[in-house]
Structures are given as structure tokens and as C-alpha cells.
Amino acid sequence: MIGGIRFEHTHRMIAGTVALLTLWQAVWIWRTDQRKWVRNLGVLAFGLVLFQAILGGLTVLLLLPWVISVLHACTAQTFFVVAGALSVVTSEYWQNIHEQHTERDTNTYGNLVQFSALTLASVFLQLILGALRRHNVAGIHPHLFGGVMVTVISWSLFAYINSRFSGKSDLWLGGLFLSFLVLAEVFLGAGAFAARTQSSAEIEPPTGTVLLTVAHVAVGALVLASAAFLFLISSAYHRNNRT
């Protein structure tokens, strides 16, 4: 347990725990929830964990091929979104959404769904660009462009929510939280890039550089989950308003 081995082994132990919990969750949902699409979502979460484990094994056995490594990273982010979605759609909060009826124009909610979908897609694209950058497949410029794109789109989404849905506290707080996370991600990304550039000549990066990079990746995952949350609840409001 020296060097990076302790991190790799701990990573596998945590992954195994997540897999067992996800299996338990899928069985539980299948036995207690009558909604077929929620059951399928639980099964999808477990399938993603298994696929992620296979990709992780191939990453080690094949000595970090960039295609599998990038796919490994993207699968992890997808699982995170699905797990977050399950926590929302099985909650009492989700039930309360479907009990609310508004007189708002259906097109207004439809525009919000499209806007939030665009935000979610831009964030996921940026995460792919970040993974390509991290594995030295692409340079920094596509990732920087993606950062600008996500910042503009996410802040524009919050401005739209603030102007049309200020009375909906969940939408407003979700948009505010997303905007705050994107701002934090910009600063963490700049800090991580500066730290990596400064320590590029060293064999092993300093602890501070590693922590900044990890924080940058972790907050990126939270940005993705927040964008997914806004898309999920805006879609629910839109369907509810049409019934």
C-alpha cells in the first residue's frame, strides 16, 4: 500500500460498495414502486455500475488507453445523473410537483424544458472535453471554449428562470445553485491549470495540484447533476401543466 496503490485499491473498494448499494436499490424499487419507468431507471443505474466496472478493469489491463479512460469517466458521470434522478423521482417532493396545477402558458414551460436540455447537453459535452484534456488527447483550448459556452448558457438559463419563474422556489434556487457552481468551477479550473503548469516539470504533481484537480472534477459532476435536476423538474412541470 505505497504510492498510488492505496488510492487505486480504495477506489475499487468504494466502487464495490456502490455496486452493492445500487443492486439493493434496484431490487427495492422493483418491489415497491409501481411506475415502470422508475423501475427501469433503477435497473439502468445497476447496469451502468457493471459497465463502469468492466471499463475500469479494461483501463488497468490495457494500460490506460484513452478511449476506454474517457468512456470510463463519462459513464461515471452518467451514473451520477441517474442516481440523482432516482433520488428525486422517488421523493415526496416529486409527488408534490404533480399535485400542483398552474395557469401558466404551456409554451413557457416548453421553452424552459428546451433551455434546460440545452444546458444539460452543453455541460456533458464540456465534461467530455475535460476528459479528453485530462488524458492528453485534446489541448486546453476546446475545454476553455466549452467552459465559456457552459457559463453563458447556464447563466442565461438562470436569467430566464428569474424573469419567468421567480415564484417557483425550486426552479429559482436550482438555477441559482447551478450558476454558483459554474462560477466556482471556473475558478477551480483556472487554479488547477495554473498549478499543473507550474508543476509540469515534476515527476509527481504536488498535493495541492492534485486536490485542485479533484475538486474541479467533483464540482463539474455537481454542475451536471444540477443541470439534470432542472431539466427533470421543468419536464415534470411541463407535463403537469398540459394535463
Would you state the cell numbers that stand for residue 184, as one nine-digit string?
466556482
Give the pLDDT band of residue 114 (cuts 50, 70, 90): very high
Q: Within its chain, how far is the Cα of 182 from the centroid?
A: 12
pLDDT for the residue 230? 96
User: Cell 443541470, residue?
Assistant: 227
Query: What is the structure's pLDDT at 242?
Result: 67
**pTM for the model:** 0.92
Instruction: Identify the CA nearest to 128 among candidates 103, 113, 114, 145.
Output: 145
Q: Concatenated DSSP letters for 74-142? A: HHHHHHHHHHHHHHHHTSHHHHHHTT----S-HHHHHHHHHHHHHHHHHHHHHHHHHHHHHTTSS-HHH
Residue 7 is predicted with a pLDDT of 84
Letter for the amino acid at 98?
H
179 or 96: whose pLDDT is higher?
179
CA-based radius of gyration for the chain: 20
b (16+ CB within 10 A) / e for 134-153 = bbeebeeebbeebbeebbeb
Comparison of pLDDT for 75 and 98, the residue scoring more? 75
pLDDT at 99 over 70: no
Q: What letter would DSSP give residue 34? A: -
Nearest to 99 by CA among 231, 230, 239: 239
- pLDDT tens digits, residue range 17-71? 999 999 999 999 999 999 999 999 999 999 999 999 999 999 888 888 999 999 9
Q: Categorize the per-residue pLDDT at 171 as very low, low, confident or very high, splitting at 50, 70 and 90.
A: very high
Residue 243 has pLDDT above 80, yes or no: no
Q: Which residues make Cβ contacts (< 8 Å) with residue 138, sequence separation at least 6?
A: 129, 132
pLDDT of residue 58: 92
* Dist CA 30 CA 43 (whole Å): 8
Q: Is the pLDDT of residue 194 over 90?
A: yes
Instruction: Name which of 197, 204, 192, 73 is nearest 132 in CA terms.
Output: 73
pLDDT at 71: 95
Q: Residues 88-102: what's their mean pLDDT?
A: 81
Q: What is the mean pLDDT of the chain?
A: 91
pLDDT higher than threshold 80 for residue 219: yes
What whole-number distance in Å separates Cα of residue 212 and Cα of residue 190?
A: 10
- In this predicted structure, the answer to whether residue 157 has a pLDDT above a threshold of 90 is yes
Looking at the chain, the whole-number percentage of residues with pLDDT higher than 70 is 95
Bigger pLDDT: 168 vs 160: 160
* Cα(63)–Cα(218) distance, integer angstroms: 24
pLDDT of residue 201: 78
Given a cut of 60, is residue 183 above it in pLDDT?
yes
Runs of H (alpha helix) within the chain: 5-32, 36-61, 66-89, 92-97, 106-134, 140-164, 169-198, 207-242
CA distance linking residue 104 with residue 107, whole number of Å: 9
105 or 165, which is more confident: 165
Residue 173 pLDDT level (bands cut at 50, 70, 90): very high
Whether the pLDDT of residue 104 is over 90: the answer is: no
